[in-house]
Amino acid sequence: MLFEEFIVQDVRMRFCHSLTEGQKRQWSDYWQQCRHGHPRQHYLFGEVERAKGRVPFFAYAEIDGAIVCAGIFSIRPLFRNILSFEAVCLRGPIFDEVRRGREFLLQVIDYFKRLRVGTVRISPYWYFPEAESVRSMLAEIGFVPYGSPSPGESTGLIDLARGTDQLLASFSRHARYQIGLAGRLGVSVRPIDDSAQGYLGFGCLKRMRAERVIDPMSDAEFKAAFEHVLMPREYGIMLNSYFKDKFLGTLWIFRGTRIANPAGYAVEESAVRQVKSSLSIGPSLWWEGIKWAKEKGCSFLDVEGYKDNADPSDTRYLIYEFKRRLSPTPVHLLGQHVYVCCPPIHSLNSTLHFLSKGWNFAKGLPFRFRKKVQISKLVRDKQ
């Protein structure tokens, strides 16, 4: 259904709640050839946003019938289809020309101002130093970094262009040992296209997120992601690990044309310890995910958050230590940025966000205390 269309100079702007079959093909063609495309900007993820109770807006700019910029923006309306705290574009919008991106974002801002949206939050998928031109453009038109004074995020890339043997050899000795140990014990990693097994993985991830006080994923959101992305195995895959018929853990990966990204990872630690106390199934899960991304033609896997010199006081220290064993190359990625469209609505949203963050911090104290104990033990063992 076409929601709004207008022409600015030589650019035709479109904002739709859903896409026709022809528009889907057009969007997919652009997504596949855009160097800065991200899996979450494939049109399939519009249905995932809809399942989250949000209203997706497929926004794109055309010149002579060809898309030059695109982004899935989603809002949660406070009143019909107007008045919302924010319009969010996860890992987008996607564009390769900074000038076109600027023109597109100016029209997007104007559009959501008319809908009385508090802020527009975006995160174009660009790595530094190339991302510096985008950072400058965003600052020029009024965007500011979101939640941090830094305009970037630390992550790591695993080069998939190497041969399989070279890739495996680049892992740490511990990771290679764990992959071999899992194989010798009879632990298997299987791609999942059955909903019952899918819900095993979802339940594991759901419990992990609750323990760490991370925003929960609803059953409806998982169902949409599983049916549209994970089950078909074209743009995503769910990998579950088993010992005989006992579920041990799960890894979800989404992929673009160049880069794949983990979307969920969780382990049933008590079940793994019952198989063997020294077993870690993470390396074998990630190894199978890496091989899938490589088979799909991806050049890199972004580990989605990584520091090679993390401080033990960092609450994500154990996660970084695990990823370090896969030998990613540290890189800096453009972080989330926001533009304030309506200051009163933005102010109210910021207050509610601050209160929610404080409550989550209090609920997460027991988990953080346990992790600090684990980190202290790990540091002592290293010494």
- Give residue 281's pLDDT band: very low, low, confident or very high (50, 70, 90): very high
Gap between the Cα atoms of 288 and 194, Å rounded: 18
pTM > 0.85: yes
Q: Is the pLDDT of residue 114 over 60?
A: yes
Q: Is there a contact between 121 and 86 (Cβ–Cβ < 8 Å)?
A: yes
Gap between the Cα atoms of 155 and 58, Å rounded: 28
> Which has the closest alpha carbon to 252: 197, 213, 307?
197
Rounded to whole angstroms, what are the CA distances from 175 to 43, 61, 185, 280, 381? 36, 45, 15, 9, 18
Q: Which domain range does residue 291 map to? A: 161-298
CA angle 35, 41, 45 (to 5 degrees): 150
Residue with tokens 């019909």: 80
The percentage of residues in the chain with a pLDDT greater than 90, rounded to a whole number, is 75
Q: What is the pLDDT of residues 83-101, one digit of tens each?
A: 788 999 999 999 999 999 9
Number of domains in the chain: 2
- CATH code for position 31: 3.40.630.30
> Which has the closest alpha carbon to 61: 110, 4, 100?
100
Q: Is the pLDDT of residue 291 over 70?
A: yes
Residues 134 and 177 in one domain: no
Residues 127 and 168 in one domain: no
319 within some domain: no
375 within some domain: no
Residues 129 and 111 in one domain: yes
Residues 134 and 182 in one domain: no
CA angle 130, 321, 373 (to 5 degrees): 135
Residues 143 and 6 in one domain: yes
Give the residue from 298, 318, 349 where a domain finishes: 298
CA angle 69, 147, 253 (to 5 degrees): 60
Q: What is the pLDDT of residues 56-84, one digit of tens each?
A: 999 999 998 899 999 999 998 876 666 78
